[in-house]
Amino acid sequence: MRKFSSYGPVDRDIHYHAPREELIESAYIQLVGEHPEKGGHYITVWAPRQAGKTWIMQQTLRRIREQGDFEVGIISMQSARKIGSEERILELFVRRLREWFERELPDIRTWDMLRSVFSEPFFSKPVILIIDEFDALREDFINSFANEFRDMHIMRKNETEKPSGEKSCLLHGLALIGVRSVLGIENVSGSPFNIQRSLRIPNLTYDEVGKMFGWYEKESGQKVEPDVVEKLFYETRGQPGLVSWFGELLTEGFEDYKPDSARPVTANDFEEVFAAGLNVLPNNNILNIISKAKQEPYKEMVLDLFRTDQKIRFGYDDPDVNFLYMNGVIDREGRTKTYIKFSSPFVQKRLFNYFARELFGYTGKLHEPFEDLGDTITEKSLNIGNLMRRFETYLRKNREWMLRDAPRRKDLRIYEAVYHFALYRYLCDFLESGRTQVWPEFPTGNGQVDIFIKYAGQIYAMELKSWRSETGYREALEQAARYGKQLELSEISLVLFVEYADDASREKYEKDHTDAETGVRVRPVFVETGN
């Protein structure tokens, strides 16, 4: 019986996987060529980590090898990450080729000798080469390799009358695998490495995820409820490494969760596993994403993405956007106008939790030891309005030390997200109890932050916004009402962060609003930030 596997390329014989035949066919056609006698293409293969790049190319290699018309190899340059010498890079490259093809190849010490490796008498057939972890190389080495590969490509194109196997250079097809689509080379003037010859490995589709779990059902005899697949796909957006990771956790368990194969896997099982994945279980994919998101200067953009007033345009030529996109932190949405969003709700939640803990790991004294909290919390209910007023008072009293080192925008204003992190940490500590759950949600991937509290069997939803204008306020009321309807709630709180709110403004705008279309009651409440 197969297993789910989330680390490294999957084994088709022992792991559940999506066949991805169309992607493999596309890679095959590009490397072999639409007209093989004229040569194949030199391409880049890219995607964020744990997206299945290496596996796709391994399957492509297998198919090409079965055809028998080419000598095909796959090597990795991962160990070149710390090499700083041109001579050592070339030595490693040739050594990897010798190991794979099991033959003697010439020693090369300069870049212009590279083409001699792919010629007679060392090869008797056209060669298709796949280089994994190519972007582990230093940028100047990437460019040097690219220049030589470009010359080989042009040389072969110039010998139009010769069959592929009789050309001076026998490198028929080439694939460079990395997390960056450009791999530092696609802007080289005249380079064959351009976006038309680039193969992006997308996330799994909903159907592909469903078929993987259907495969598990067939082999194990254990039913997986449809809600599990829906929730898993929603939270991961089909990211292959995360899908398989949650598959592992659900079917094999971990220290605090022992699956019961005698009954179906339910939505409640997923919620339990997901909570552990969100809060306590390590995952190399997520740790890598966090390590990229917290780096300067990229951290500024990540914090800005949590803003609720407007979306940020996606620009592929923006180096910060490019870096975060290629490393799986963000994705894009829209067609004619493209905007940035987080790559998945799970990634966004993990980042939210990380920054909240980083900035507000210590929240200080939340209230006096014997203070009467009856206006805010009772055995049966919460008063969200009073809870927000308590947070506002807490923020005012502790602002100086809490926000002293808070990240600021270029205009020196504190990022909007910082207040959301502060509120979340405050709620977690204020309501700390086995009876209470507090968690953030991000329904759109950008432009909307909600905090949910489950207390005494009730769900309390708070949509967080920053005050911009009266028009924005009216739109926020309607949006909150629609969201409340979607959640099947009769009321929802609209928490509006504002620098200053006088008594007249509070009297005018902190009034319950019942939406005529949905019937949902929206309860607005201001929180002064004093930014």
Residue-wise pLDDT tens digits, 434-455: 689 999 999 877 768 899 999 9
- Mean pLDDT taken over the chain: 91
pLDDT at 434: 66
The pLDDT of 319-329, averaged and rounded, is: 89
Spatial CB neighbours of 223, under 8 Å, sequence gap ≥ 6: 217, 264, 265
> For residue 315, what pLDDT band results from cuts at 50, 70 and 90?
confident
pLDDT at 402: 92
Give yes or no for a contact between 328 and 347, defined as CB atoms under 8 angstroms apart: yes
pLDDT at 190: 45
Identify the CA nearest to 20 among candidates 200, 220, 269.
200
pLDDT in tens, 44-54: 898 887 888 99
pLDDT in tens, 61-119: 999 999 889 999 999 999 998 899 999 999 999 999 999 999 999 999 999 999 999 99
> For residue 188, what pLDDT band results from cuts at 50, 70 and 90?
very low
In the chain, where the domains are located = 21-200, 206-281, 350-528
> For residue 180, what pLDDT band results from cuts at 50, 70 and 90?
low
Region class of 464: left (phi > 0), else alpha (psi between -120 and 50), else beta: beta
Higher-confidence residue of 310 and 481: namely: 481
pLDDT at 531: 67
The pLDDT of 3-30, averaged and rounded, is: 92
pLDDT at 189: 44
The token duo for 405 is 């080192």
- The percent of residues above 70 in pLDDT, for the chain, comes to 96
pLDDT in tens, 386-400: 999 999 999 999 999
Question: How is 33-78 classified by DSSP, letter by letter?
Answer: -SSGGG---EEEEE-STTSSHHHHHHHHHHHHHHH-SSEEEEEE-G
- The percent of residues above 90 in pLDDT, for the chain, comes to 75
Q: In the predicted model, is pLDDT for residue 183 greater than 80?
A: no
**3-class SS of residue 127:** strand
Q: What angle do CA 302, 325, 337 make, to 5 degrees?
A: 90
d(CA 307, CA 35): 50
How many CB atoms lie under 10 A from the CB of residue 393? Answer: 12
Helices assigned H by DSSP within 102-189:
139-158
In terms of CATH architecture, what is 21-200? 3-Layer(aba) Sandwich (3.40)
Q: In the predicted model, is pLDDT for residue 482 greater than 80?
A: yes
The pLDDT of 366-394, averaged and rounded, is: 93
d(CA 524, CA 270): 33
* Percentages of the chain per state (helix, strand, coil), in multiples of 5: 45, 15, 40
pLDDT at 185: 47
